[in-house]
A and B are shown apart, each in its own frame.
Chain A
């Protein structure tokens, strides 16, 4: 169905009016979808441009975008104003998304390494080589000599096909993805505290929230559209408060009322101190605690009194000393948390990329469980996701070494049976033991325990911590890289490089931070000889002798339809999110158990289709993923970083992102405008440190850690706290991860990118 521009604008006006009047929820996404996009997922404007409904390719916010195509070419991008995630607003990366489709570094044909050099090959040559080499390794060394390393940017369907091939057919659980490097600690926190992964609330809570407690997240740069929603909430309601806990002053500080600028790696004590103040000053919800909460010290159940005793040490003064902030600021933060009726906590890599990442996640959840500020409008313990489909594809799709699709785990016999039946393989084909997590996987490439690896849509030769240690392993193993861009640090050391269709050239589903699964239309033919990743993997499966269970994958829809069967009856039920329905709507938030179900705004409470009223027996929340329906408050001790500063390495190094670049710059590095925002690699240095070291902006400095050194340009700016430097990790010519430490959280196995010890020398 194509619409005239007049219709287009009329519908927009309706949408805008509804938003202004605050009646968007009355219409809901379905109503708008029916008005705008009926049988197709595009509309045509008066200039002959077809606008295809899609989702942004970058962060985990899940903004709706419309990709404009004319004469088979991408001609423009617009925010999708009917998508309630962003209401038409885009950030700077999305603004250039259509230009990345035709970037100069698009990989257009398969390549095979011959005599040390990547050489153009046919698809048959390349796929035969991959299949025969993988089969040879499997037969000679066993299935665990193979591995798959995927991405939170891959579509759910792509991860699903890979998972089915490697776990269900080759028979190895060595299936990982880069969400291990960013979200695994959030998964660990949600699963241990609430029994099930992913947030309880949704973005809808933002417009009802009165206090945003933001920990370890530069929301303004990492999630700009979400930041805009928070800023707008504050603009419209000046009483709304924002508290930030972070070692840096970031652009997010522009809207902050209170900033606790902690020493990197030492913020656990603050959260425990806030918990203590909440209890001491009676700002807790005793009824909620009584009904819905258990206590644990991590190894056994404890009582509320035990927990209070555990907290005795965490006075504001103790925490202030540990964390390098003022005790009165901790008290202020605690009182704001306790006295504000509606509170949302939000956090990101500053919490997750830590050896105490799961603990810190638990501690944030504790605050919401103590106060009952959970499962109701304007309240949530809400983890922000880094990648567009880390939640949908990898966490829900089971794309990590211990998981199976539909929030299942390999260690559970029943889960293995259920998935084996769906995959049409014997249950024993799926191993009960988790495979190698990401850091162990790359370590095993070095030792030779893993001899062949398939890497999809990610660039570990730049993104793995303590990089120097792992590069040789990547060079030595038989490495297949499926990518849309070349060269990347990884593709240039691969043995086979397969050209993958890029965003806009393929359809599929992304699941964002708020449990919303959204369909992305295919608007263009793949560039050159590129193919959809799902087809490439299914083709390899067939060539390895598994045709019977992959030949049905003749379309993306066929894969999605099989996948959602895995979710039936699970906490993340997507049965009602059929492909045809997703094409029409602006996403659905699970659980959505039937096609007439509207999706769920708050889990574990009234309105959640799986909320067991009988078991709940009057309780407001029932955490049904826990045996007795109770979530857990954990007594987690404060734990510092793996590598504290020392006399030899006296400065704390923290790494991160800037708004204009995405990960390793394979995409955003092709856009001159985005490059202009920060043309060269740099290190942020606090002015007091700079003065002491005699360093000025644009001087070259050498950063040295136990693992390596890097020379970059200094940027003297009052952002990192004194004694801390910040280095963005985007530029391939300046590999920041040479410096970072590969120590991992013992539970989540997520590396501590956020804290290492270093020294800085003026060059």
Chain B
């Protein structure tokens, strides 16, 4: 029985993680960032709290030019998007617009990893 619950938990966790990738195309209504010390910048906090994600970002093109978390995720208080959105990508990357209806993909994030931004995780 214990194994059943453990398996169920793992399946639910996997579903959540996989949603994190598959459902990354649009921001979710009602996203809420945990209440934290808002005197800190995203980077100050996340370099300690989520060091792997921070490192992925730091090594990415966005990290290279110091375009911070807020660009995709909002400021955390007034605006917060747990996932990025294609519309936000398009603002700065107008030269890379894609007609998704002509492809088998639905979102920039189908090909670009969310934090490293690498193409097909290459």
Contact = CB atoms under 8 A, between A and B. Distances in A.
Nearest to B76: A676
Given A673-B79, A677-B70, A79 B39 contact: no
Contacts of B96: 88
A80 interface: yes
Interface stretch (A89-97, A342-350, A472-480): A89-97
A675 B76 CA distance: 11
Contacts of B94: 12, 66, 78-81, 88, 90
A679 interface: yes
A12 B71 contact: no
B30 interface: no
B65 A227 contact: yes
A712 to B, nearest CB: 13
Contact of A676 (B67, B75, B87, B91): B75
Contact of A76 (B43, B78, B87): B87
Contacts of A88: 92-96
A90 B94 CA distance: 9
B75 A90 contact: no
A76 B39 contact: no
Contact of B39 (A78, A672, A680): A680
Interface string A227-269: 1100100000000000000000001001000000000000000
A680 B70 CA distance: 16
A221 interface: yes
Interface string A405-430: 00000000000000000000000000
Given A220-B66, A678-B41, A672 B95 contact: no
A87, A92, A659 pick with most chain B CB within 10 angstroms: A92
A15 interface: yes
Give the size range of B's interface with the partner: 20 to 34
Contacts of A145: none
Contacts of B93: 79, 88-89
A510 B40 CA distance: 36
Contacts of A80: 94
B99 interface: yes
B92 A674 contact: no
A220 B65 contact: yes
Contacts of B64: 231, 254
B68 interface: yes
A660 interface: yes
B68 A677 contact: yes
Contacts of A92: 67-68, 71
Interface in B76-122: 76-79, 87, 90-97, 99
A9 interface: yes
A617 to B, nearest CB: 45
Nearest to B63: A254
Given A92-B67, A92-B71, A672-B75, A679 B95 contact: no
A224 interface: yes
B4 interface: no
- Which DSSP category, helix, strand, loop or mixed, fits chain A's interface? helix
Nearest to B69: A676
Interface in A673-699: 673-680
A231 B97 CA distance: 22
B23 interface: no
B65 A673 contact: no
Most chain-B CB neighbours within 10 Å: which of A16, A90, A677? A677
Q: Which of B43, B93, B97 has the most chain A CB atoms inside 10 A of its CB?
A: B97
A12 B93 CA distance: 12
A675 B94 CA distance: 25
Given A12-B95, A227-B65, A251-B66, A675 B75 contact: yes
A77 interface: yes
Contact of B79 (A5, A16, A78, A672): A672
Contact of A95 (B41, B43, B66, B91): B91
A66 B79 CA distance: 23
B95 A16 contact: yes
Residue from A227, A659, A676 with most neighbouring chain B CB atoms (10 Å): A676
Contact of B91 (A5, A76, A228, A672): A76
A79 B91 CA distance: 6
A interface bracket (residues with beta carbon within 8 Å of B): 35 or more
A89 B42 CA distance: 23
A453 to B, nearest CB: 37
B38 interface: yes
Interface string A207-220: 00000000000001
Contacts of A9: 97, 99
Nearest to A80: B94
A679 B40 contact: yes
A586 to B, nearest CB: 13
B70 A674 contact: yes
B77 A90 contact: no
Contact of A81 (B40, B71, B95): B95
Contacts of A672: 74-75, 77-79
B69 to A, nearest CB: 8
B68 A228 contact: no
Contacts of B65: 91, 220, 224, 227-228, 231, 251
A61 B51 CA distance: 34
A220 B65 CA distance: 7
Contacts of A254: 64
Given A77-B91, A673-B79, A221 B41 contact: no
A12 B91 contact: no
A254 B62 CA distance: 13
A660 B87 contact: no
Contacts of B39: 679-680
Given A672-B78, A676-B76, A679-B41, A659 B66 contact: yes
A676 B99 contact: no
A676 B65 CA distance: 17
Interface string B31-62: 00000001111110000000000000000000
A389 B71 CA distance: 26
B63 to A, nearest CB: 9
Nearest to A6: B99
B99 A221 contact: no
A494 to B, nearest CB: 30
Nearest to B44: A697
A673 B66 contact: no
Given A227-B65, A673-B70, A673-B79, A679 B38 contact: yes
Interface string A52-93: 000000000000001000000000111111000001111110
A89 B68 CA distance: 16
A95 B92 CA distance: 7
A227 B90 CA distance: 20
A177 B61 CA distance: 37
A81 B94 CA distance: 6
A226 to B, nearest CB: 11
Nearest to A673: B70
B76 to A, nearest CB: 6
Contacts of A678: 41
A90 B42 contact: no
A220 B63 CA distance: 12
14 contacts: A12-B94, A15-B95, A88-B92, A88-B94, A90-B91, A90-B94, A95-B92, A220-B65, A221-B66, A254-B64, A672-B77, A673-B71, A676-B42, A679-B40
Given A87-B95, A88-B92, A92-B68, 6 more contacts: A79-B92, A81-B95, A228-B65, A672-B79, A673-B75, A680-B39
Closest 8 CB pairs of A and B: A88-B95, A81-B95, A672-B75, A88-B94, A673-B70, A676-B75, A78-B94, A672-B78
